[in-house]
C-alpha cells in the first residue's frame, strides 16, 4: 500500500536483472564480472541492485567515488568495491574504508606508496591505462615507471589492469578500437613479465562486448547499462519501467496560456493534465512543448509549455478514457528507454542517471 502514496514510481523487476545476467554469462562465456553500479546504479538504485547482484554471485562492483563506495559498504556489500575516479585528497579515506582505488596517474601512485599508509593492511589497487581515450590512465611510456615503483612492494596487490575503449559502439572506428587492443596487449605483456601474481585484465564494457565479441581476450569484463536492458537483443529485457499517476485534469479555452512565460497558447479548446514529474525529477526544462511525450494506452501525450520543477502539463484532448490517478508511461513496455532516448536525441544513460532519488523505486 505504501507504494500507492507516490505519484511517480520507477518499477524495477529484479528477476529480469537475474535473467539478463544469466544470458550474459552464457553468451559471453566469462563469469568474472565487474558490475558497474556508479551514479546510483545508473539511476536504478545502487544498494538494491548491488544486493541482488551479490546474491547472484557477483563479487566485484565499480563505483565512481569514495562516497558511493562507503555507502555500499555500510549497506552490506562485502565484495570488492572499486573506486574508479579517486582524487588525490581522498586516497586515505578510500584505503581506510577497505575500498580499492584505481590508480591512473603518478601523483595518486606516489600517494598510495607514501610511508604513512604502510600501516594499512595490504592495499588492493587497480591500474588504468590510457589506450587512446585520453581521459584517465597511464600512457604506454609511463608503464615502466609504474612497474618499477610497485615491484617488490609486498603491501601492494594489483588486482586488475584495465583500459577503456573510446568508440566501442561505432563500427567506423573499428581500426582505432583494434589499435587500442594492441596497445593494451603490450601493457599486459609488460606486467606479466614483471609480476608472478594473478592479475585480471579488462578492456571491455557493455557496448564493447555487444559490438566486438571477437575481441574478448580478457579475464574480466565490466557490465553497466547492458544489465538493465538492450534494444539490440530481445533476450536482454528492460529491467525498469517509470510511470506517473495523473494528478489533475482541467479544461482550457482557446487563447488561454499554460505554464511559465505563457510558453503555450491554446489554439483551440483543450483538455490538459498535470503529471507530478519535473526537472527536479530528471526531466529537462527544454523538453516542453511537445518534445517529450508521455504514453497512455498507446496514445502519445505531448507536453505543453515549459517543464516545471516538480510537474509538467500534457495534452489530453484526444484521450477519452483517462482519469485522475491513472498511470502514464515515461518509459517502459509502451515505449522503451532506448526509443525515448532516440526521440529526445540523447542516450539512455543520461535519462536514467539524472532520475531524482525522490522518485520511488519499487522493487519486485
Per-residue model confidence (pLDDT) at position 170: 65
Measured between alpha carbons, how far is residue 13 from residues 48, 194, 363 in Å?
Answer: 11, 45, 6
- Classify the phi-psi angles of 272: left when phi > 0, otherwise alpha if psi is within -120 to 50, otherwise beta: beta
Position 98 pLDDT exceeds 80: yes
What is the distance between the alpha carbons of residues 125 and 101, in angstroms, rounded to a whole number? Answer: 5
Nearest CA to 121 among 137, 100, 135, 140? 100
Which residue among the candidates 38, 123, 159, 293 is catalytic per the annotation?
A: 38
What is the distance between the alpha carbons of residues 187 and 137, in angstroms, rounded to a whole number? Answer: 12
Mean local confidence (pLDDT), 159-169: 89
Nearest CA to 41 among 166, 223, 219? 223
Name the CATH topology of 32-228.
TIM Barrel (3.20.20)
Extract the C-alpha cell encoding 283: 526531466
176-222 per-position pLDDT tens digit: 988 999 999 999 999 999 999 899 999 988 776 666 555 545 678 89
Extract the C-alpha cell encoding 181: 587492443
Which residue among the candidates 179, 186, 251, 260 is catalytic per the annotation?
A: 260
Q: What is the mean pLDDT of the chain?
A: 92
Identify whether 38 is a catalytic site residue. yes
Q: Decide which of 299 and 173 is more confident.
A: 299
Position 247 pLDDT exceeds 60: yes
What is the distance between the alpha carbons of residues 38 and 33, in angstroms, rounded to a whole number? Answer: 15
Position 31 pLDDT exceeds 70: no
171-183 per-position pLDDT tens digit: 667 889 889 999 9
Nearest CA to 249 among 225, 275, 221? 275
Give pTM, 2 decimals: 0.93
Mean local confidence (pLDDT), 243-255: 98
Identify whether 179 is a catalytic site residue. no
Q: Where along the chain do its domains lie?
A: 32-228, 240-363
Domain 240-363 carries which CATH code? Answer: 2.40.37.10
Mean local confidence (pLDDT), 146-172: 88
Position 1 pLDDT exceeds 60: no
Beta strand 240-245 pairing with 8-12: antiparallel
Q: Decide which of 211 and 339 is more confident.
A: 339
Amino acid at each position: 500500500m505504501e507504494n500507492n502514496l507516490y505519484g511517480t514510481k520507477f518499477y524495477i523487476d529484479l528477476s529480469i536483472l537475474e535473467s539478463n545476467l544469466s544470458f550474459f554469462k552464457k553468451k559471453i562465456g566469462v563469469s568474472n564480472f565487474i558490475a558497474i553500479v556508479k551514479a546510483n546504479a545508473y539511476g536504478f538504485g545502487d544498494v538494491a541492485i548491488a544486493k541482488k547482484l551479490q546474491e547472484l554471485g557477483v563479487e566485484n562492483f565499480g563505483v565512481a567515488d569514495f562516497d558511493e563506495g562507503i555507502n555500499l559498504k555500510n549497506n552490506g556489500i562485502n565484495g570488492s568495491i572499486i573506486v574508479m575516479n579517486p582524487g588525490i585528497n581522498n586516497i586515505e579515506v578510500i584505503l581506510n574504508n577497505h575500498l580499492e582505488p584505481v590508480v591512473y596517474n603518478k601523483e595518486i601512485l606516489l600517494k598510495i606508496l607514501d610511508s604513512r599508509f604502510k600501516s594499512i593492511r595490504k592495499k588492493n589497487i587497480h591500474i588504468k591505462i590510457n589506450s587512446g581515450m585520453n581521459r584517465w590512465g597511464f600512457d604506454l611510456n609511463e608503464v615502466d615507471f609504474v612497474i618499477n615503483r610497485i615491484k617488490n612492494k609486498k603491501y601492494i596487490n594489483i588486482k586488475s589492469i584495465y583500459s577503456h575503449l573510446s568508440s566501442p559502439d561505432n563500427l567506423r572506428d573499428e581500426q582505432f578500437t583494434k589499435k587500442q587492443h594492441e596497445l593494451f596487449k603490450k601493457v599486459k605483456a609488460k606486467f606479466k613479465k614483471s609480476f608472478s601474481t594473478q592479475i585480471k585484465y579488462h578492456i571491455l564494457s557493455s557496448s564493447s562486448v555487444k559490438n566486438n565479441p571477437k575481441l574478448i581476450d580478457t579475464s574480466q569484463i565490466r557490465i553497466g547499462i547492458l544489465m538493465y536492458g538492450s534494444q539490440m537483443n530481445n533476450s536482454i529485457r528492460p529491467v525498469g519501467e517509470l510511470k506517473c499517476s495523473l494528478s489533475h485534469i482541467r479544461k482550457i479555452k482557446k487563447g488561454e496560456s499554460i505554464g511559465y512565460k505563457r510558453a503555450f497558447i491554446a489554439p483551440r479548446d483543450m483538455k490538459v493534465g498535470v503529471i507530478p514529474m519535473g526537472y527536479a525529477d530528471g526531466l529537462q526544462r527544454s523538453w516542453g512543448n511537445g518534445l517529450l511525450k508521455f504514453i497512455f494506452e498507446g496514445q502519445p501525450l505531448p507536453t505543453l509549455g515549459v517543464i516545471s520543477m516538480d510537474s509538467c502539463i500534457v495534452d489530453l484532448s484526444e484521450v477519452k478514457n483517462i482519469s485522475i490517478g491513472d498511470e502514464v508511461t515515461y518509459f517502459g513496455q509502451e515505449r522503451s528507454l532506448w526509443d525515448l532516448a532516440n526521440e529526445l536525441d540523447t542516450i539512455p544513460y543520461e535519462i536514467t542517471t539524472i532520475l531524482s532519488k525522490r522518485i520511488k523505486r519499487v522493487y519486485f
